[in-house]
Amino acid sequence: MARKKENLEFRYYDIPHGEPLLALYGEDWIRPYGYDKNLKPIVDLHFHNLMEIGWCCYGAGEIILEGKSVPYRDGTLTVIPKNYPHTTNAAQANLNKWQYLFLDMDKTVQELYPDNHRLAQRLLYRINKTPCCTSKEEQPTLFILIRQIFKEMQEHGELYRESVSGLQKALVIELARLNQELIPGTYLMENFKALISNQNLARALWNSFRNSSVLTILCLLVCSLAGYGFEIYHDKAKDIVFTILLTAMMVPFAAIMIPMFRMFSQLKMVNTMAAFMLPSISTPFMIMMFRQASRSFPKDIIEAARTDGLSEIGIFFRMFVPTMKSTYSAALIITFMNAWNNYMWPKIILQTNETITMPMLVSNLLSGYTVDYGMLMLGVLICTLPTAIVFFFFQKSFTEGITGAVK
Mean pLDDT of all residues in 101-129: 84
Is the separation of the CB atoms in 269 and 342 below 8 Å?
no
d(CA 385, CA 373): 18
d(CA 392, CA 397): 10
Is the separation of the CB atoms in 271 and 350 below 8 Å?
yes
Reduced to 3 states (helix: H, G, I; strand: E, B; else coil), residue 157 is: coil
> How many CA atoms lie within 13 Å of 172's alpha carbon, on the beta-carbon side?
23
Higher-confidence residue: 183 or 197? 197
Q: Determine, yes or no, domain membership for 150.
A: yes
> Confidence class of residue 222 from pLDDT cuts 50, 70 and 90?
very high
31: left (phi over 0), alpha (psi -120 to 50) or beta: beta
On whether both 229 and 337 belong to a single domain, the answer is yes
pLDDT tens profile 357-371: 999 999 988 876 667
d(CA 121, CA 56): 30
Q: Which amino acid is at 179?
A: N
Q: Which helix (H) or strand (E) holds 80?
A: strand 76-80
Mean pLDDT of all residues in 142-161: 86
- State which of 128-142, 149-163, 208-222, 305-319 shows the largest mean pLDDT: 208-222
On whether both 324 and 392 belong to a single domain, the answer is yes
Q: Minimum mean pLDDT among 156-160, 181-185, 240-244: which range?
A: 181-185
Helix 284-294 vs helix 201-232: angle between axes, to the nearest 10 degrees?
50
Mean pLDDT of all residues in 54-60: 93
- The CA angle 303-304-307, to the nearest 5 degrees, is 85
On whether both 84 and 142 belong to a single domain, the answer is yes
On whether both 129 and 216 belong to a single domain, the answer is no
- Per DSSP, what are the bridge partners of residue 44? 7
Domain that holds residue 304: 195-403
Q: Determine, yes or no, domain membership for 190.
A: no
Distance (Å) of CA 54 to CA 5, 74, 132 = 21, 12, 10
d(CA 171, CA 143): 10
Is the separation of the CB atoms in 153 and 160 below 8 Å?
yes
Which residues 6+ apart lie within 8 Å of 299 measured at CB?
Answer: none
Mean pLDDT of all residues in 111-140: 84
383: left (phi over 0), alpha (psi -120 to 50) or beta: alpha
> Confidence class of residue 381 from pLDDT cuts 50, 70 and 90?
very high
d(CA 317, CA 147): 74
- Per DSSP, what are the bridge partners of residue 62? 71, 89
d(CA 51, CA 128): 8
Q: Which amino acid is at 260?
A: M
Higher-confidence residue: 190 or 377? 377
Q: Pairing between strand 22-24 and 96-103?
A: antiparallel
Burial (Cβ within 10 Å: 0-12, 13-18, ≥19) of residue 203: middle
Q: Determine, yes or no, domain membership for 2.
A: no
pLDDT tens profile 61-83: 999 887 788 899 999 999 999 99
Q: Which helix (H) or strand (E) holds 55?
A: strand 51-58
- What is the pLDDT, as a whole number, of residue 282? 87
On whether both 171 and 252 belong to a single domain, the answer is no
d(CA 245, CA 384): 31
Domain count, the chain: 2
- What is the pLDDT, as a whole number, of residue 232? 87
> Is the pLDDT reported for residue 46 higher than 70?
yes
Give percent of the chain with pLDDT exceeding 70: 94
Residue 406: count of CB within 10 angstroms of its CB: 14
- What is the pLDDT, as a whole number, of residue 180? 63
On whether both 178 and 204 belong to a single domain, the answer is no
Q: Determine, yes or no, domain membership for 189.
A: no
pLDDT tens profile 256-279: 889 999 999 999 999 999 999 999
Q: Which helix (H) or strand (E) holds 45?
A: strand 44-48
Q: What rounded mean pLDDT belongs to the chain?
A: 86
On whether both 311 and 375 belong to a single domain, the answer is yes
> Confidence class of residue 7 from pLDDT cuts 50, 70 and 90?
confident
- Per DSSP, what are the bridge partners of residue 51? 103
d(CA 72, CA 90): 9
> Confidence class of residue 193 from pLDDT cuts 50, 70 and 90?
confident
On whether both 387 and 337 belong to a single domain, the answer is yes
- What is the pLDDT, as a whole number, of residue 98? 94
Helices marked H in 186-249 — which ranges?
188-198, 201-232, 236-248
- What is the pLDDT, as a whole number, of residue 154? 85
> Is the pLDDT reported for residue 221 higher than 90?
yes
On whether both 368 and 281 belong to a single domain, the answer is yes
Report the helix count and the strand count for the chain, using DSSP H and E. 17, 11
Per-residue DSSP letter, 117: H
Reduced to 3 states (helix: H, G, I; strand: E, B; else coil), residue 95 is: coil
> End of a domain among 142, 161, 183?
183
> End of a domain among 131, 155, 183?
183
On whether both 167 and 216 belong to a single domain, the answer is no
